[in-house]
Every structure is written in C-alpha cells, then in structure tokens.
Chains A and B, each alone.
Chain A
Amino acid sequence: MPTAPRGVGNLRGEEGFPAAARTALADPQLRRNLGHATRTIRAKRASVVAEVPDWQELRAAGAAIKDDVLARLPELLVQLEEQVTARGGTVHWARDAAEANAIVTRLVQATGADEVVKVKSMATQEIGLNEALEAAGIAAWETDLAELIVQLGHDKPSHILVPAIHRNRAEIREIFLREMGKVGRPAPEGLTDEPRALAEAARLHLRRKFLSARVAVSGANFAVADSGTLAVVESEGNGRMCLTLPQTLITVMGIEKLVPTWQDLEVFLQLLPRSSTGERMNPYTSLWTGVTPGDGPQEFHLVLLDNGRTATLADPEGRAALRCIRCSACLNVCPVYERTGGHAYGSVYPGPIGAVLSPQLTGVEDNATLPYASTLCGACFDACPVAIDIPTMLVHLRNRVTEAKEAHGPLPGAEATAMRAAAFAMSDRRRWTLALRSAKLGRLLGRDGRIAAVPPPLTRWTRTRDLPVPPPESFRDWWVREHGGRS
C-alpha cells in the first residue's frame, strides 16, 4: 500500500521527537502559554461533556458509525461521487499529496485567479497546499483567525483546533502590526492586545480578501454519502464567507471523512463541539450540496485524498485511527503535549492522535519516534469522542517500528541487547535468581542509600533523579529464607 510520499506536505519533522521536544521544553513562555490554554479548554470540555447523560452511548454510536464507514469505504465513496456529480459538482481522486496539489493548482489556474481564500483545513495543511500554490504563483490567504496568526507569523500550526495555541496576545499584536500591511490592509494604529481589538483588526484585514477573492479552498468535517452534502463546522463565520462568496469552491477532503446518512451526522454534530471547543454547539455549521444556480459558488470541485489512508485501513490494529474527527480533545488532556506543544511532533497532526496517525500515513519508519512520545497514561482514550484506544495502538505501532528495523537485519543497539538479555534471564528461574543477586553489585555505586550517577544506558535517568540502591536481599531470596521450600 502506498504511504504519503516524501518531500511534499507536512507529516514529517526534521528531527525526531525527543530532540524537538528538548527545544520546546527550553522555552518557558511556550510552556506557560500551553499550560494555561490546555487547562482552560480541558475544564470547559469536562463540564459540557458531564452535562450529557448518554455521553458514553454517543461515543459508542460515533465509533460504530465510523467503523461502518471504514468497512464500506469504497462503496460509500462511489455513492458520494455519484451524488455530488448529480448535483452539479465535480469529483477528483488524489492518490497522494502531490496529486492533490496538482489537481487544485490546475483548477485554480483554470479560473485565471492568482489568489484564493481558505477556510481552515487540516487536509490542505497535511499536503502542503499553500506551498504548492505559492510555487505556482498563487497566493493562498488563511481566513481562520488562528491560521491567519500562524501564516502572518511565518510559523507552523501547533494544534489541530487552536493552531496558534503557542502564542499569547502580546505576541499576536506584534505579528499583526508587523505583517498585516505587507499583504493587505494594515492593522489599525494604536492596536492593543485586547482580544476584541485583535479580532477587529483581523476582521477588517480579512474582509478585503473575502470581497476580492474569486476562488476559495476548504476542507470538510463531514461528507454525507447518500446526499452528496459537505459540512464545515466553525466558530468565527470566516469559513461561511469562503463557502458562499467566491465563484469557485474547491474542497479537499480525506477519504475517511464520510458518514453514510444525514441521520449519522447528528451524532457527530453533538460529539465534535463538546469535545473540541467545549461548546454545546459550534456557532456556524455550513452545509452545501453541489451547486445552486444563482446562489453561492457556481463551480464546485471535491478532491478526495488518500495520502496513506488506504495503507492505514489495511492494518486491523491501526485502522481505528481513521475514526478521528479532529476534535483535538486528546491533545488537550495529554501531559506530553502540554509540555512540548505541537511542533515537537513534526507533523500537522500532533499529540496522541498524531502519534498514531502520522506514522501510519507515512509508514512507521519515517516517524519512528512518535509512537514512543507517550507515557501510555490513557487520558487520550478517555477523552476521545469516538473511543480510539490510542494507548493500545501506540504499543502496536512500537512493535511495528521494531519489526521494521528487524527487516533490515538483526536488531542493533543497546536497547535491543538489553531487552534480549532481560528476556533471556527472566525466562529461567535459576538465571533470574542469579540476575537479581548480581544486581546487588549496584550497591557499590550508591551513597547515602541512593545513586546519583550510573553508567550508560541509564545515565539519562540520573540526570534529574536518584536511583535507589538495590537491596541487600531480593524478595525471592527473603522468601526462600523465611518460608523454606514452600512456594
């Protein structure tokens, strides 16, 4: 199965997670911004989820609908294509990021436009569409407030739902003052860092873009197969402007975003806002079906994107990652994400879901450190509105990483050696008893009952922690001494 190709898109970081995390951890402002933001969203989510008496049943329904979609994906996709086409839209199939970018670029060029407005879209972030359009001389303007902050700051998004979560108000004000004038209407003079003032500056800046753009690019939160309807849910209304004002609308959607019927949509319109923004309902839900003469975009294109999704579907232990509705609840409860932020994950999909999704989309060898970017604490599984068992999936992917390495020959490195040695000792009573006795040699390293520095590979452990000194007698030796042969 083909995975997402290298050299295009934003699913791979330049360095592994541990190194990238170190950079993030060294930034105290980032830690404060993240800690504050995730704590706030966590509390909001918890309170609105607690209001729903049948939340667990809703979760189970969401999981079941998505599993049904994954089991019948080819059939439902064909149904969607038929419905969209029958209602005046055009469907394009993209095997990967490169194909999707080429299709969208060609469609924009055919309109003669040299700029597009965009509603926040994870799929287009995933494939690096903005970069591809820029290479073709087409400017792509992000209209989601947080995406705008990221774009103007020449930055990368660090959260699925709140792409600028790593920025505070003062930083945003500086970015607006410095950058807005270069690409359109400048920020108002005397701009303060009050949220209302910042939002108004963005509104004035964006309004010009909306009124001049002839082409819009969107993602989709859902697509209803039996009617050919696309759905975008959002908080600001900027998406609705993109979806209604331009002449041409191009939607790029991952093939897993389907739901079979309108009735199924109802489940997700309850699960998504409560899980993502901690709201009972999102302020804007836009639904469109093909084209309507004289009203809204007169040309509608739907690009269906694979980019490693079929490969993910092929793994029975990993495919449930495709249930994901991109709510980001798992990010906000993850203690690892809270300390490192999203950039450390190197992919547009950070946090726990990114740690299982990115390595599957790219192939585990390309994102081999991500399955280990978790303590397996399980908070993500509890928070997930479609009940993806992320911890179990992480363990599965760790085994796949080891298998992938093994495919190139005997497992190298200190870790594999230690694991092999431990398994050898633990598999035999006599060997294990001896191993525990020899551990007592570790006492030589201790002072005052603790060890503050040890030889590799445990050196890193004792950088911030003391190791206890091994006891003079193992439990089993005590047991034999006390209880004799009784065992």
Chain B
Amino acid sequence: MRIGLEATCLVDGMFPQVGRATVRLLERLGHEVVFPLEQSCCGQMHINTGYGRFALPLVRRYADAFADVDAVVVPSGSCAGSVRHQHAALARAAGDEGLARAAKEVAARTYELSELLVDVLGLADVGAYYPHRVTYHPTCHSLRVLRVGEKPLRLLRNVEALDLVELPEAESCCGFGGTFALKNPDVSAAMLADKMRHVLSTRADVCTAGDSSCLMHIGGGLGRLSTGVRTVHLAEILASTKDDAESGATHATGTAQGVAS
C-alpha cells in the first residue's frame, strides 16, 4: 500500500522521532511511505482558536498533497479528527464547494495510526517489543471525535514484554486543548495536576498516547516535577523491536516526548 504520512506541524518541528517511528513501522510492515513536502499543518490550531479563515489555504494544501496516495496516516487523533470533521465544513462555509468535495474525499482516506493498523491493514499485532511498564492515556479527540475505542489498547496488549497498566479516570481530559492551555493556563494546570496524579498512581515508567500535543503537556508537567516518568508516542512503542533493544539503538525504547533527544 502506498501510504502518505501527514507528520503534523508539531511532529515535524518538535517531535521528529514520532514521524521517523511511523515510517519505520509501516516500512517494516511492507508498505511504501511517502512524505509530500508540500504539507504543513492541518489548520486545527487556527480553526479552533477562531481564525478558521486562515486555515482555508491549509485545507487546500492538505487535499492537494495527498491526492494520489491510497491512504493517509496521521500520528495524531486530534489532527486526523480535524481533517475528518472540520475540513469539508470549513470549505463549505467559505462557499468553495469544489474544495469541500476534495476535502471530503481525502478525509475518507485519512486515518489515525491505530485506525490504519487495525481497520485498514487488519493488524492487531505489529511484532513490537517494548520491555516497560506502560499506561495509556486515550486523548479526547481519539476517543470522542474519531472513536478509536480499544484499537490502541489492542495493539499495546500485543507488544511483547510490555506491561500495560490501566490509567485511573483515563477518559478525563489532560487539560491541553490547544490554545486553551494558553488562554486558561490556571484551569489547564489544575486538570494536568489530576492527570499526573493518576499517571503516577499506576507506577508506570512510560505514559503513552496517540497525540504528541497531549504528551507534550503531560510530559512537560511530569518533567517539571522530576517524576522520572517518560511520555512516549504510541508510534514509537509500536516501532520498537527486540533487535533494537539488543543493539541499544536510541529509538528502541522511544524517546521521551517531554524531553527531546
């Protein structure tokens, strides 16, 4: 399958290891990955902050960049959710029916990572090896916009040597919310404090999720408190193999999100 990678602006600029892990994983599974350099951002930051108009060119770029791939993979539930639920509506609101059609067409081929693996590629076991105690935070947009449900957990349960521990009150928001964290920093911090308390109660070494943004927020809080708990994107865990672990490759255990390599 020829799969286009939408790296997301955050992964491209801040967490390239997540993009590299996604490429490594899909290539290991026998697929061709392409990265159209014309892409930049899904525009969600603009849309959700009230600057939807600014996002229109980005919606067009997205539709153009991925016009000729079989599927688009996004290592972010939030960005995949924006493509699927906001792009066509934004184009329609702007009176551009042509773009709305194109956006709808590409959105139907756009998947968050766990959706691509489970629904499209029919995999529950990707042959990963990750010897750590891990807890999973189901980010709000993966959970309630995309409805990925149990897919990430199924994938994690099949990772060899991984000890999966349940996160208390997992479904409550971590408090990031894009620019919410800037506009309402105090409420955001209060929500983060509760999320960190729950993560620490699991005694996990690693907190994982399908969104770098939420992990940046949680990891930033855990880092400030010097808890020693790392945040690692789901893609990095699924890309890890026993060979990596034995060879001591840096990407084998994933790179902490809150603390860049």
Contact = CB atoms under 8 A, between A and B. Distances in A.
Counting contact residues on chain B (CB < 8 A from A), the size range is 35 or more
A480 interface: yes
B259 A468 contact: yes
B58 interface: yes
A435 B259 CA distance: 21
B20 A478 contact: yes
A452 interface: yes
Contact of A487 (B36, B40, B176): B36
A398 B50 CA distance: 4
B51 A419 contact: yes
A475 B185 CA distance: 29
Nearest to A404: B50
B206 to A, nearest CB: 16
A464 B182 CA distance: 12
A21 interface: yes
| Residue of B36, B177, B185 ringed by the most chain A CB atoms within 10 A | B185
A339 B190 contact: yes
A353 interface: no
Contacts, number: 215
A471 interface: yes
A124 to B, nearest CB: 30
Contact of A335 (B12, B173, B217, B260): B173
Contacts of B46: 419, 422-423
B184 A427 contact: no
B221 A464 contact: yes
Contacts of A415: 49, 179
A474 interface: yes
Interface stretch (B99-107, B119-127, B137-145): B137-145
Interface string B165-207: 0000001110111111111111111111000000000000000
A479 B50 CA distance: 33
A471 B86 CA distance: 30
Interface stretch (A6-14, A63-71, A320-328, A374-382): A374-382
A476 B40 CA distance: 10
A392 B43 CA distance: 15
B19 A475 contact: yes
A25 B178 CA distance: 21
Contacts of B185: 18, 460-461, 463-464
Interface in A329-343: 335-336, 339-340
B131 interface: no
Contact of A427 (B61, B85, B175, B187): B61
| Residue of B13, B182, B187 ringed by the most chain A CB atoms within 10 A | B187
Given A460-B182, A463-B189, A480 B14 contact: no
A422 B50 CA distance: 14
A425 B143 CA distance: 31
A398 B45 CA distance: 12
Contact of B258 (A420, A468, A474): A468
A470 B12 contact: no
A465 interface: yes
Interface string A153-180: 0000000000000000000000000000
Nearest to A406: B53
A436 B16 CA distance: 11
A412 B216 CA distance: 29
Contacts of B85: 392
B173 A487 contact: no
Given A427-B57, A471-B15, A372 B183 contact: yes
A28 to B, nearest CB: 11
Contacts of B181: 461
Contacts of A392: 85
Nearest to B47: A395
A17 interface: yes
A381 B188 CA distance: 20
Interface in A1-42: 17-18, 21-22, 25, 31
Interface in B33-61: 34-38, 40-41, 43, 45-55, 57-58, 61
Nearest to B214: A375
B12 A423 contact: no
Nearest to B223: A466
A408 interface: no
B182 A458 contact: yes
Closest 10 CB pairs of A and B: A375-B177, A465-B220, A398-B50, A378-B144, A475-B16, A377-B173, A377-B140, A423-B54, A475-B19, A426-B40
12 contacts: A372-B180, A373-B187, A374-B180, A377-B144, A377-B177, A415-B179, A419-B49, A429-B38, A432-B40, A466-B223, A471-B17, A478-B20
Interface of B: 7, 9, 11-17, 19-20, 23, 34-38, 40-41, 43, 45-55, 57-58, 61, 85-86, 140-141, 143-145, 171-173, 175-192, 216-217, 219-221, 223-224, 257-261
